[in-house]
A and B are shown apart, each in its own frame.
Chain A
C-alpha cells in the first residue's frame, strides 16, 4: 500500500522513486485538474506500464453540501439549489424536487403544466446528450465534434432562455406547475430545432459513430455485466447499455410519460460503444416525445393554486425521475414545518462512478478515458 503523501504528490523525487517498490507500478493522479475528468474529479490510478491496476476516486472538491443547505431553505426556495447539482439536466432536477413537494402536498398539476414540464425535460435531455457527445469525442482526441454538438445545443439553450429566462440553471419548475407560461415562439422554435436536429444527426454518425478509430476505441472497452450494473446501482444509459431495464419514465411513469409513445433503449453488450449508442438513440426517442407533445399542449393554467407558505405534512416522501444520467431520487423527511428536516438526493452519477474501478481495471490508460466518457459524469452531481 502507498501512503497518503505518495498519492498527493505527482512529483515525487524521481519517477522511479514514485513507482511502488519492487512492482514496477506507479501511481498517477488523474485530476483534480485534468482535461478528461470534466471537472474536479480526482482519480488515483496505479499503472503497470499502460495498464491500470487500481483506481480510486477521491471526491469532494466541489462538495457544497446541498443536502445541508436545503435543510434551511423553504420548499419553494430549495428547488433552485438543485439546478447546481447536475447542471446539465437542471430542469429535471428541479422537476424531481417539485414532484416530491407536490406528492407531499397532494397537489394536482394542471395538464398544461405537465406537458410543458415533459417538453422541457426532453429538451434538456437532448441538450445534455449533445454536450456529452461532444465531450466524449473530445476525450478520445477528436475536437471538432464538440463544436458541432454545441451548435445544436445552442439552439436549445436559446429556446430555454426565451421561455425560462436562463440558459443553464433555469429554475422554471415551481411546486404546482411552472413559473410562467411558455413563450409564444416556443412551439415554432422547438419545431425548427427538431428539423435542424434531424438534418444534422447523420453528420454525427459520419464523423464519429461510423469512424473506424472511434469504434475500435469503444468496442469491448469498459465491460459491465447486467448483474454488476444492478449491484453497483447503475442507472440510466449506463445500466441500459448493459441490458438492464431502468428507465423510470417507463417503469414508474410520472406526468404524461404514460400517455406518450417512446421506446426504452436497450443494448446488451455492456461496453462503451453500447452506452454510446444508447445515448445516441435516446436523443431520437426524446425527439419522438417532443413531436407528439409539441402540437398538443392543452389549454389551461400553467400553475396550480398554492398557498404562499408551503408546509409538507409529517412523513417521508421519495420521488424518482429519469435525468439524462439516470435515476435521480429525492428523499424528503418532513417534520411538518416549512423546511425539510432531512433531504437526500440519490444522484445517478455517484452510483455510476462507483462502477468505474470495476470497469477499467486491467485495461489501458486510454480506455479509462473512453469508459469515463461514456459514464457521462457531472462532478457536482457526484459531490452535491
Chain B
C-alpha cells in the first residue's frame, strides 16, 4: 500500500529526528555534564601523570650534584640531534685526568619527547619533567643548558 508506506516513512523519520533532539536537549538541560576545562584558571589542580613527557631535565640533588658522566649515550640515542654533550677533563687531586660533563645542551625546539635518551642513560642522570608550557617569544630561549651552574658529578657515579 503506497499511502501506508508513505505515512509509516514519515512516522519513522519524525521519530528518529525526535530521538536525536531528545539526546541534545537532554544535555542542554543537564549542565552538570559539561566537560569544559578552563585551562589557565585550573592550573593549580591540573593533574599530570608522573610519566608525562614534557621536557628533559637533569636531576640535581640538594648539593647541586648530578649523575651525568658525559658518556654521550643520550646524544647517540637521540633521533633528532636534540642533545649535545660538551665534555671537559677534570683533574683529580691525585693528578689523574677524568672525562666529565661541561655543558649539557638541550634543544627543546628539536625534541619530540620520545624518551629514548632517558632510556639510554646508564646513570639515570636525566628524566622527563611534566612542564608543558614551553612557549617563549624567542627561539633561542629554547636551547637550554641542563646542568646547573657550578654543579658537579656526584661522588661514586661512574
Given contacts A165-B128, A169-B112, A171-B114, contact A180 B23 (CB under 8 A): no
**A211 CA to B17 CA in the complex, in Å?**
6
Given contacts A73-B79, A207-B24, A210-B19, contact A171 B51 (CB under 8 A): no
Q: Is A21 an interface residue (CB 8 A)?
A: no
The answer to whether B115 and A171 touch across the interface, beta carbons within 8 angstroms, is yes
Contacting residues, chain B, for A179 (C-beta < 8 A): 115, 119
**A206 CA to B21 CA in the complex, in Å?**
9
Q: Is A251 an interface residue (CB 8 A)?
A: no
**A77 CA to B52 CA in the complex, in Å?**
20
Minimum CB–CB distance from A338 to chain B (whole Å) comes to: 11
Q: Is B53 an interface residue (CB 8 A)?
A: yes
Q: Is A78 an interface residue (CB 8 A)?
A: yes
The answer to whether B112 and A151 touch across the interface, beta carbons within 8 angstroms, is no
Contacting residues, chain B, for A210 (C-beta < 8 A): 16, 19-20
Contacting residues, chain A, for B113 (C-beta < 8 A): 165-166
Q: Is B59 an interface residue (CB 8 A)?
A: no
Contacting residues, chain A, for B52 (C-beta < 8 A): 161, 165-166
Q: Is A164 an interface residue (CB 8 A)?
A: yes
Chain A residues numbered 188-222 whose CB sits less than 8 Å from any CB in chain B: 203, 206-208, 210-213
Chain A binding site: helix, strand, loop or mixed by DSSP? helix
Contacting residues, chain B, for A166 (C-beta < 8 A): 52-53, 113
**A78 CA to B77 CA in the complex, in Å?**
11
Given contacts A80-B112, A211-B16, A212-B13, contact A163 B23 (CB under 8 A): no
Contacting residues, chain A, for B17 (C-beta < 8 A): 211-213
**A300 CA to B40 CA in the complex, in Å?**
42
Minimum CB–CB distance from B8 to chain A (whole Å) comes to: 12
Q: Is A183 an interface residue (CB 8 A)?
A: yes
Q: Is A144 an interface residue (CB 8 A)?
A: yes
Contacting residues, chain A, for B48 (C-beta < 8 A): 161
The answer to whether A206 and B115 touch across the interface, beta carbons within 8 angstroms, is no
Contacting residues, chain B, for A206 (C-beta < 8 A): 19-20, 22-23
Q: Is B110 an interface residue (CB 8 A)?
A: no
The answer to whether A80 and B116 touch across the interface, beta carbons within 8 angstroms, is yes
Q: Is B140 an interface residue (CB 8 A)?
A: no
The answer to whether A76 and B24 touch across the interface, beta carbons within 8 angstroms, is no
The answer to whether B51 and A163 touch across the interface, beta carbons within 8 angstroms, is yes
The answer to whether B114 and A212 touch across the interface, beta carbons within 8 angstroms, is no
Q: Is A81 an interface residue (CB 8 A)?
A: yes
**A211 CA to B114 CA in the complex, in Å?**
43
Given contacts A77-B77, A212-B17, contact A164 B51 (CB under 8 A): yes
Q: Is A162 an interface residue (CB 8 A)?
A: yes
Minimum CB–CB distance from B124 to chain A (whole Å) comes to: 13
The answer to whether A165 and B53 touch across the interface, beta carbons within 8 angstroms, is yes
Please pick, from A165, A174, A212, the residue contacting B16 in the complex, using a CB distance under 8 A: A212
Given contacts A166-B52, A183-B49, contact A76 B19 (CB under 8 A): no
**A327 CA to B52 CA in the complex, in Å?**
30
The answer to whether A203 and B79 touch across the interface, beta carbons within 8 angstroms, is no
Minimum CB–CB distance from A141 to chain B (whole Å) comes to: 13
Which chain A residue has the least Cβ–Cβ distance from B37? A154
Chain B residues numbered 1-40 whose CB sits less than 8 Å from any CB in chain A: 12-13, 16-17, 19-20, 22-24, 35
Q: Contact mask A123-167 → B, CB, 8 Å, 1/0? A: 000000000000000000000100000010010000001111110
Minimum CB–CB distance from A192 to chain B (whole Å) comes to: 15
**A165 CA to B115 CA in the complex, in Å?**
9
The answer to whether A165 and B51 touch across the interface, beta carbons within 8 angstroms, is yes
Can you list 22 residue pairs at the A/B interface with Cβ under 8 Å?
A: A76-B116, A80-B116, A81-B79, A161-B48, A161-B52, A162-B51, A165-B49, A165-B53, A165-B115, A166-B52, A166-B53, A166-B113, A171-B114, A171-B116, A174-B119, A179-B119, A206-B22, A208-B20, A210-B20, A211-B19, A211-B20, A213-B17
Additional A-B contacts beyond A165-B115, A206-B20, A208-B20 (6; CB < 8 A): A77-B77, A164-B51, A171-B116, A207-B24, A210-B20, A213-B17
Show the binding face of B for A, using Cβ within 8 Å. Answer: 12-13, 16-17, 19-20, 22-24, 35, 48-49, 51-53, 77-79, 112-116, 119, 128
